[in-house]
Amino acid sequence: MLHATPSSDNRLWTRRPLRLASTLSAFALLAALPQAAQAQEEANDPVLTVYTYDSFSADWGPGPKLEEAFEAQCGCDLEFVGLEDGVSILNRLKLEGPSTEADIALGLTSDLIPEAKATGMFAESKADLSGIEIPTGFSDPVFVPYDYAYLAFVYDTEVIDNPPKSLADLIAGDPEQKIVIEDPRTSTPGLGFLLWMKEIYGDEAAAKWQELQPRILTVTPGWSEAYGLFTKGEVPIVLSYTTSPAYHAIEEGSERYKAAAFEEGHYLQIEVAGLLTTADEPELARAFLEFLVSEEAQAILPTTNWTLPVLPEVKLPDAFSNLVTVDKPLLIDPETVAENRRAWTQEWLEAVGAR
């Protein structure tokens, strides 16, 4: 009978783990190869940088869904950079000039188009806008409108029994019932309210701002801060949009927050996106602008950005049928805004005592 020697037995049992380890390492290497290749491919994908406002790029905003949908077709890396608000985007671009890393600016309003064009930083979009519908109409070779909404004062029904029915009511209302508004120097709804007041009151706007001032609890840099104060119960009325209650109805199942219907009409805010002349991948950027007005993207916006789509065929949730109906869209010609924005803002500053 043959017996294995201790040395041969040891060799037998030490070789098996080594062979097993080598096999496992090989499998691990093979498994890692596709991931490494994918990572390398992603590293080589062109990057498209979009300046927008923070609520657009937030996890709960439209940014992530739009990013996923566009990247599935573009072979690129879409990156959103969230800034304070729409006016802040233009301010940032003016500051950075040709050195900006942005390929696209998304979140300006039509009020700012002449001022944006005057920077010389925007190129023609070449986008097909034949299918869009906006209440006041829209035509521009540079900027692409992707949604719109009407400004409104949203109120807490558990605090406010008799909401204002007009700007006049709001201004003459109880100063103990505070409101919060946004700064027109940094915020597009803040600028929109400035224009709303100017459209209704003209040369009397400064006096009306002074009358309203006792009701203003604070002026925030952007919409997110203002609406946060409102939902925390620190103020019962906030400058927002007629579409804001749809969020609470759909996401929270709540009818607590309503928009006040104003008899003078509501100011229309049209949001636009534009291609920067310094874009590294201009054709890719133009493809994204076209994507913004596609049915796929338009279907995402109403229940993430809580705005109205520019494509009429997009079906809206039932909650949108319960919103304030605007029969009088208000909009000042953008050229007039560009000529007077600085003077009107200074008038506002002096009237409300903002710094």
Interval 169-188: pLDDT, tens? 999 999 999 999 999 999 99
Structural domains for the chain: 45-148+269-322 (3.40.190.10), 149-268+333-352 (3.40.190.10)
Q: Which of 19, 76, 18 is nearest to 47 (CA)?
A: 76
Q: Which of 227, 107, 246, 111 is nearest to 179 (CA)?
A: 227
Contact between 206 and 118 under an 8 Å Cβ cutoff? The reply is no
Which pLDDT band holds residue 346 (cuts at 50, 70, 90)? very high
Q: Which of 13-17, 273-277, 284-288, 351-355 has the lowest mean pLDDT?
A: 13-17
pLDDT for residue 5: 35
Q: Which residue in the block uniquely carries the two structure tokens 């949908």?
A: 69
Instruction: Say whether 131 sits in a helix, a strand or coil.
Output: coil
Contact between 131 and 113 under an 8 Å Cβ cutoff? The reply is no
Instruction: Say whether 267 sits in a helix, a strand or coil.
Output: strand
Type of residue found at 330 = L
Tokens of 94: 């003016």
Q: Which of 164, 244, 205, 234 is nearest to 351 (CA)?
A: 205
Round the CA-based radius of gyration of the chain to a whole number and report it: 27
Residues 87 and 176: their CA atoms lie apart, in Å, by 30
27-73: per-residue pLDDT in tens? 555 555 555 444 444 568 999 999 999 999 999 999 999 999 999 99
Phi, psi of 342 (to 5 degrees): -65, -45
Any bridge partners for residue 78, and if so which?
48
Please give the model's pTM, rounded to 2 decimal places: 0.86
pLDDT for residue 44: 82
Is pLDDT of 11 > 80?
no
Residues 189 and 149: their CA atoms lie apart, in Å, by 10
Contact between 222 and 53 under an 8 Å Cβ cutoff? The reply is yes
Task: Write the CA distances from 183 to 91, 137, 187, 191, 205, integer angstroms.
Answer: 14, 27, 6, 7, 16
Is pLDDT of 110 > 90?
yes
Residues in the chain: 355
205-227: per-residue pLDDT in tens? 999 999 999 999 999 999 999 99
* Summary mean pLDDT of the chain: 90
306-334: per-residue pLDDT in tens? 999 999 999 999 999 999 999 999 999 99
Contact between 216 and 208 under an 8 Å Cβ cutoff? The reply is no
